[in-house]
Structure 1
Amino acid sequence: MNILIVDDTKFNIITAKEVIKISEIKCNIITAASGEEAIEIMNTQNIDIILLDIVMPKLSGIETLEIIRRNNKNVIILMFTSLTDKKYLEKSFEFGANDYINKPIEPIEFTSRLKSAIKMREYQNALMESYNNLKNTNAQLKESNAKLKTTQIELVNREKLSTIGRFSAGIAHEINTPLGYVTSNIYTIQSYAKTLKEYLDKYLTFIKENEECFFDNKELKELADSSSKLEFILSDFEPVITETNEGLEKISSIIKNIIRFSNEDAYDNLEMNKISELIEESMKILKMELKEYKLDDLFDLKLDLIEDDYIKCNRFQIEQVIFNIIKNSIYYIGIKDRKGNINIKTYKEDEYFCLEISDNGIGIEEENINKIFDPFFTTREPGEGTGLGLSICYDIVVVKHKGHLLAKSVYGEGSTIIMKLPI
């Protein structure tokens, strides 16, 4: 316990020190002969209790009290006074004095008031320690709560992906088998068509070379005349087969993506990916969903993508981010009940690759703009969303990829979400 005695009379300081010694009060005594010296000591040392004389030359005790209280609200201050005028004491208490001691010093009163001040300081310290402990506990609880929320999001996301993955893998394997023999049969048909065309060419050549032999044969002549129809069918056969093969290749590509999607290990890998391809894949899935609900004509899509758009990232996680952001834009365009626009732009800024997705939907209210990445926050009607979409996006971009996810919006005009990934 550090006690500072401030008095311009040396006798009063000696008397106070002697009484403290006789009373066996354990403390460290520091002295000052003026208010200026006391303020300097307060700026450099940790003081618990001040015994401050009211009447001092230059800087009075009340002025010193006022200055000390500006920067130190917790120190216990007892005023030394030999004055009978209560106005000075009232002024002292007005500026934050805790108690007073009469001069000349009477040992019993001095000891009693000083011990009370020491107890007050001890209670104050105990309270401050409890407050700090509570503050630390609260900070730890906040940190634990944040981790719990993050873990909860991760678990929900993992379970969601796991369920979709198992379901998708099952469908993919079911489709894969018939797709295999359909693809095989198409190649066989293509081969047969080629053979038929070769035989037709030989047949027509033979007819032309031996036309005079069959001139009187009406049926053969009619068959020869109808060969143009066969030629048309066979010529049309090739583009039909080509288009069918392209369709089968697309189906095969989708199935491969679904099988990869169902592989949980793929969600931990960072590889070089072309962002424009991830946008294309996300739009393919969205278009299928929109077509199902007859919403494929709800918006116009405009792309402004840079050529060099390779970035090291987790393909499936970033696809999920793009998918969720665009789907969010579509939802808020739909609220306006008119055709809207979605603009997707990519560019490089300092050491970041940036993907900007803008829409002219209903936008986000100003008071909600800082909440949209919070877990379970949603402005949608009950049953229309869990509020996890953008929170998952934030976790993927900021936590897993060490990037940034920013939002800008003007309510009633539209929103812009910017994803920044380190190059």
Structure 2
Amino acid sequence: MGAVKTGLSRKLLTRVLSVYFALTLIVTIGQIFTEYLSTKSHIESELQTLKNTFSESLTRAIWELNNEQAKSIASGLMEVPIVSGVQIRDENGDYIADYGVTMPQSQTQIHEGRMEDHSGGVFGYSFPLIFDFSGRTSQVGDVTLYSNFDIIFGRIEVGVFFLIGNAIIKTAFLVFLFMTAFRRMLSEPLAEITEQMSSFDPDHPEDSKIQLTIHDDNELHQLQISYNQVIDDLIHSQNKLHGTQEKLRQANRKLDDQNLILEQEVAKKTASLSQIMLDLEQQKDELIANQRELRQENENRQYVEDELRKRNAELAHSMENLRLAKDQLVESERMASLGGLVAGIAHDVNTPLGVSVTAASFLHERLENLRSAYNDKSLTNKTMAAFIEEAEQSTLLLLSNLNRASELIASFKQVAVDQTSEAERVFNLNTYLHEILQSLQPSFKQARHQVEIECPEELEIRCAPGVIAQITTNMIMNSLNHGFDSDQQGHIKLKVSEEDEHIVMQYSDDGRGINERDLNRLFDAFFTTKRGQGGSGLGTHIMYNLVTQTLGGRIVANSQPGQGLTYTIRFPKRGH
């Protein structure tokens, strides 16, 4: 038997000692860490004690603007063994003194004492400097005292080395004790057992029993008893084997006789099997005929599958054409909305322009009259005063109407440019919504509807403005075209709020509303309640796509017959 590469006792000793080493290391580290925390707590308490010693003198020095004295006190604090850095700031957060190892601080004042840990093992205690003057308190600055890991380690250095040395001594003694015990109680008895077992003789098993010099009734002694019992069982089994072999020889003779009888039976069965083979050959011919019929049926099915595949390809092509047509209809709907806006703005601009032309013509006529009177030397003070008054009225009329036309054109220009562009920019949402409403004013001339916009004045968002214009225009025009009767005075409200970096737009009208069945189909393409009356069914579908795809938000509609319609739109703010 070859030598064992790694003995059992060595493995066991290695595992036991490994566990002990790990436990010793963990306990030692825990003791060192506990000592560190305790020492750090003492140093923090001492830093807080320094506050009571130096805060009053520092407060008075800063109150009296005596920075030199404050710096002198800071230098004195640096002489304290536990202090590695000092920062003194005035009430504006400016540094009066910054000595030693310190950390940068925020500009905000420190209003109460606090302990903070920093990187690199640095920690500090900060406290405000409060000056009490005639019963009134005023904060004149703050102080931060720093300490670090080196100061803590300097205090616990001896204790740490003692803990490490103690752990090393105990570990060395335990290793020696374990190695001696394992060698005497396990390694040497196992070697003796191995040597005796390696001299086992199969021909004379009774001479191969183990004899050990073990006096204790332990596992090795039980192993010796069990092994010797196995030897006894082996001897008994060999005796039984010899008897069984004799019985086997007798059974072989009987088996030969049975083989002769079996061969006769096999001959009979072979004849019967030949008949069965003939029947199987006939069934094989029938199976081949059935296979031919099945092959023909498979070919027919393949032809049908090819035809279905062609029809599927044609159907996919038709679906693509339908999608392109749908996109063209959506774009046409947007252009139609912009065209209606152009027509309304053009009609609304004509009125102030017509008034301006009339006022200019009147002013020109009066100017010609004044010139004739001047040339004829018939100009009087009364005529001049009348001309000035009429000119002043005409000028005011011109300015007011031209300003009105200019505002309409500016609003229309911004909204129209945004609707035809998908460029994103940062803009004021409140101002932009009012510009959209102003561009839609021509649509309200024939009705007495009221539109109310409630939006924070300073709210700014970043997105494509044309998307907001298209969504707002579609909601308002849907209310005008579908929500209100021709003689009804409706009320529309658009409320905008900001929630967790999201914009929430809540639009509502008090029109006729829609039923639950139509509400479930409201955002479907080509769905309209005015089929055949000019409705395309794409307005709400365009709104849904703009909100969910372009803005990355969601839109929900709620309505009941006779109680108006409400849209709730939520999308990310993405501000500047």
With structure 2 as the length reference, what TM-score do the two structures score? Answer: 0.38
Larger Rg: 1 or 2? 2
With structure 1 as the length reference, what TM-score do the two structures score? Answer: 0.49
Identify the structure with bigger relative contact order (alpha carbons < 8 Å, sequence gap 6+).
Answer: 1
Say which structure is richer in helix: 2
